[in-house]
């Protein structure tokens, strides 16, 4: 797919930590994920955070900076056979080229126990580096053995300043002119979700911002707006 046909959020996706907005407790100067990358000491991880907080983007950046092969799948559509194929290819890649594979599993909470058990041994022996993403408390949704072999990191909802930075980046990319009140409205309606903000912004090329927001809300899972992520992790990280 040509980049011009990708959603704005994908076209603007940061490629390095210096471009990443938010989650300074993880990727800032003293952030643990930054230190793991700098020391090249990758471990399997679970990213727990609300929609649009940067889970997928951060996983891709980790893969880029560590020169790891990146496999992105969703638990909604991934079967046990898919997992076996990913593991087989990861093992071959590691043996032939010495390259690690980061297996990014979005919505890991949708995998049942049998599915999670299937890749547990391969996380244990280092065949794959698992990065699971979830909006649900992983202590309830991820099996204990997998949790014990992973680090759980909580991603916070983006604040207004962080969201404004992303929106202004999008405005510049699209060469739009927006009133200050429209930007403020977009920040408020996006509720800390960067992808929602950029989706609305892209529609704003053709529609007034209020209409663009209405259209986007029809495609958005309203349940996601009610997700509450604590300011402190319930799990030891």
What's 42's domain CATH number? 3.40.50.300
Which among 102, 135, 154 is the end of a domain? 154
Cβ-based neighbours of 220, under 8 Å, separated by 6 or more: 196
Q: Count Cβ atoms within 10 A of the Cβ of residue 91 and give its class: 0-12 exposed, 13-18 middle, 19 or more buried.
A: middle
Query: Are residues 131 and 95 part of one domain?
Result: yes
Query: Are residues 172 and 148 part of one domain?
Result: no
SS3 214: helix
Helix axes 194-203, 160-174, angle to 10 degrees: 30
| Full domain range(s) for residue 55 | 3-154
Query: Are residues 92 and 53 part of one domain?
Result: yes
Position 3 scores a pLDDT of 58
Task: Find the DSSP H helices in 66-193.
Answer: 80-97, 113-124, 138-141, 144-148, 160-174, 180-190
Structure tokens at 216: 């986007």
Q: Say if 42 falls within a structural domain.
A: yes
Beta strand spans in 8-68 (E): 45-48
Answer yes or no: is pLDDT of 101 > 90: yes
- Rounded to 5 degrees, what are φ and ψ at 133? -120, 135
Q: For residue range 33-90, list pLDDT tens digits in order.
A: 999 999 988 999 999 999 999 999 999 999 999 999 999 999 999 888 999 999 999 9
Query: Are residues 133 and 68 part of one domain?
Result: yes
Query: Are residues 172 and 125 part of one domain?
Result: no
Position 144 scores a pLDDT of 93
Number of structural domains the chain divides into: 2
Query: Are residues 118 and 9 part of one domain?
Result: yes
Structure tokens at 220: 């958005």
Q: What is the largest CA-CA distance in the chain?
A: 56
Query: Are residues 150 and 165 part of one domain?
Result: no
């Amino acid at each position: 797919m040509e980049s011009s046909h990708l959603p704005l959020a994908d076209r603007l996706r940061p490629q390095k930590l210096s471009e990443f907005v938010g989650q300074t407790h993880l990727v800032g100067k003293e952030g643990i994920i930054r230190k793991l990358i700098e020391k090249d000491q990758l471990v399997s991880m679970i990213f727990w955070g609300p929609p649009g907080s940067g889970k997928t983007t951060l996983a891709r950046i980790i893969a880029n900076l560590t020169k790891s092969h990146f496999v992105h799948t969703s638990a909604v559509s991934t079967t046990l056979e898919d997992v076996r194929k990913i593991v087989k290819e990861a093992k071959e890649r590691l043996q032939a080229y010495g390259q690690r594979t980061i297996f990014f599993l979005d919505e890991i909470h949708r995998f049942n126990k049998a599915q999670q058990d299937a890749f547990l041994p391969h996380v244990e022996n280092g065949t794959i580096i698992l990065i699971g993403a979830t909006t649900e408390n992983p202590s309830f949704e991820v099996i204990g053995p997998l949790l014990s072999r992973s680090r759980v990191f909580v991603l916070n909802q983006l604040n207004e300043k962080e969201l404004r930075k992303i929106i202004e980046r999008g405005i510049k990319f699209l060469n739009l002119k927006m009133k200050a009140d429209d930007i403020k409205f977009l920040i408020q309606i996006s509720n800390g979700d960067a992808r929602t903000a950029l989706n609305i912004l892209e529609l704003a090329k053709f529609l007034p911002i209020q209409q663009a927001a209405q259209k986007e809300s029809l495609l958005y899972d309203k349940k996601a707006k009610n997700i509450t992520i604590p300011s402190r992790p319930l799990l030891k990280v």
